[in-house]
A and B are shown apart, each in its own frame.
Chain A
Amino acid sequence: MSSVLYDVPGPRAIARNRILGVITVLVVLAILGFIVWRLWDTGQFSAEKWDAFTYSNVWLQIALATGRTLAAFAVAAVGALALGFALAIGRLSDHPWLRGPIGAVVEVLRAVPVLVFMFLLYYGLPVLGIRMEPFWAVVIALIAYNGSVLAEVIRAGVESLPRGQSEAGYAIGLRKAAVMRLVLLPQAIRAMMPVIIAQLVVTLKDTALGYIITYQELLFYARYIGSQSTYGSPIVPATIVVGAIYIALCLILSFVANRVERRLRRTAKLGKGVAPADDAMTATRAVAVQAGLDDPEPRR
């Protein structure tokens, strides 16, 4: 194994690496040990601290809170994708009067922190007489922010395509909308799929911001149960439980992202490998190749 940073280790380097490995293990064990000691010392492992989590009603509430987190995520994800496509197409428009303003909107939405946008919707709009549930404040803010980020991602995907793609589309008589819909977007989405799903993970993580504007999601419930003195104020166990749920949800989504990415790549290869259309093209291509207009390698 060779890396840009180091050579294949010799005997002395192997010995040194072993020592460094042992030191790493010791440091990690020391940190873990300190945390466990503090947990133990403050009685977090005692039965009464975990008493709250023996009631099925508490778990039912946790399940409902998880449902609210996922509901906000689902609506925000669908909305952000829709808004992302709309803004991306707007930014790619040929008309300056459309491209300019939409570009400005995207830049502003990307620059404003999501939480401040939620504040604007939840605390600011009532001044103008518009009241909304915390759910909608969370969802709309997430749609606005992630939609604008996705718009940039999709635009970058379209602009990274070779210009021949759209020119070929126009050459066979497609109009602007059809070139976008049939030629450019499918390729851009495939190229940008990993980034798009990574942004959806960000959306899921950002639903936790709803806690701050009193949306009753997982953290909100953890705070509530953690302050119940009848259960011995189990804030630490509640944080552990809710944190585990949150991290598990995000890890599952990241895992799905990886699978989708691998799958898309595989099917993309398959499609190219089979490509019966290529054979049908050979008659026309042969002329072009003979005339020196095209290279004999099949274009992928």
Chain B
Amino acid sequence: MGIITDNLDLWSSTLLGTLVLFVAGGLLALVLGTLVGAMRVSPIPVARAVGTFYVNTIRNTPLTLVFFAFAFALPPLLGLRLTGDVSLTLAICALGIYTATYVAETIRSGINTVPVGQAEAARALGLTFGQVMTLVVLPQAFRSVIPPMMSVFIALLKNTTVAAGFSVVNLGSIRSYLSERGENQFVAILWVMVVFVVLVLLLSWAQRALENRWKVAR
């Protein structure tokens, strides 16, 4: 326990770093992923093609490569000076752009689980497009999207550690700071593992709770 109580400042700042990456990256992924998901189910062929290309390319790109491009190739292109804030922003962008593809696919498959008959029935009743969406299609899609979306966020939480390789402070990088203070690295990493298991358990618990609450009764 000493390794935690003696270095509370490090643990709190790295945990905060992980949470910042998780929340900011998650928000960016949600916005971008919803946009791309909408493009993939839109009636516009060009938009569908662009969305498909984006999803297929980024899903076949290692996250480390995305980070690599953002951390090393982008700063010289945009003439950025690598300060802590710039590194953090780039890491958030990398995580968001990578996770957005998974969000987009989740939303697309969620919409596809709603039977076509639902929308047809709504239109037959004379509902407008806005009413069909807000009253019939999206509520059902939203419910079936919740469990896989939580899995995407669990993966995002674990992926935040990759930022440790690109000089962004988070739980993945606490190891090097603790070893500078002469602590036992093995024990430090074991504690990091414990923290992640706890965080993932919390998210899985939230997933199960939301799933039970918003189950589609069919």
A192 within 8 A of B: no
Contact string, B111-131, partner A, CB cutoff 8 A, digits 1/0?
110111011100100000100
Contact present for A42 and B76 (CB under 8 Å): yes
- Return A139 CB to nearest CB of chain B, in Å: 16
B119: chain A residues within 8 A (beta carbon): 3-5
- At the interface, is chain B mostly helix, strand, loop or mixed? helix
Selected from B41, B77, B111, the residue in CB contact (under 8 A) with A38 is B77
Asked if B158 contacts A113 (CB within 8 A), the reply is: yes
Whether B162 is near chain A, meaning CB under 8 Å from some CB there, is: yes
Q: Which 7 A-B pairs have the closest CB atoms?
A: A212-B165, A208-B62, A208-B64, A250-B60, A111-B200, A124-B186, A113-B158
- Sample of 9 more A-B contacts, CB < 8 Å, known A7-B123, A116-B193, A127-B186: A17-B44, A24-B50, A28-B50, A39-B77, A120-B186, A209-B162, A212-B164, A222-B68, A235-B76
Q: In chain A between 88 and 104, which residues have their CB closer than 8 angstroms to a CB of chain B?
A: none
Tell yes or no: A112 within 8 A of B by CB.
Answer: yes
Q: Which of B46, B64, B73 contacts A209 (CB 8 A)?
A: B64
A157 on the B face (CB < 8 A)? no
Instruction: Decide: B161 and A211 in contact? CB cutoff 8 A.
Output: no
Which B residues lie at the A interface, using CB under 8 A? 39, 41-47, 50, 56-57, 60-65, 68-69, 72-73, 76-79, 111-112, 114-116, 118-120, 123, 129, 133, 137, 158-159, 161-162, 164-165, 171-172, 175, 179, 184-186, 188-190, 192-193, 196-197, 200-201
- Can you list 27 A-B contacts (CB < 8 A)? A2-B116, A4-B112, A4-B119, A4-B137, A7-B123, A111-B158, A111-B197, A115-B161, A115-B172, A116-B172, A116-B196, A117-B193, A119-B192, A120-B189, A120-B193, A123-B175, A123-B179, A201-B60, A207-B62, A211-B68, A212-B64, A219-B64, A235-B76, A236-B77, A239-B72, A247-B61, A250-B60
Nearest A residue to B179 by beta-carbon distance? A123
For B73, what are the chain A residues with a Cβ–Cβ distance below 8 Å?
Answer: 235-236, 239-240
* Residue on A nearest B173 in the bound complex, by CB: A119
A-B contact count (CB 8 A): 161
Closest to A2 in B: B116
Asked if A113 and B72 make an inter-chain contact with CB atoms under 8 angstroms apart, the answer reads: no
Give the nearest-CB partner of A201 in chain B.
Answer: B60
* Cross-interface CB contact of A108 among B72, B185, B197, cutoff 8 Å: B197
Q: Is the CB of B78 within 8 A of A38?
A: yes
Q: Is the interface of A mostly helix, strand, loop or mixed?
A: helix
- What chain B residues lie within 8 Å of A13 (beta carbons)? 43
Q: Which of A224-254 contact B (CB under 8 A)?
A: 226, 235-236, 239-240, 242-243, 246-247, 250-251, 254
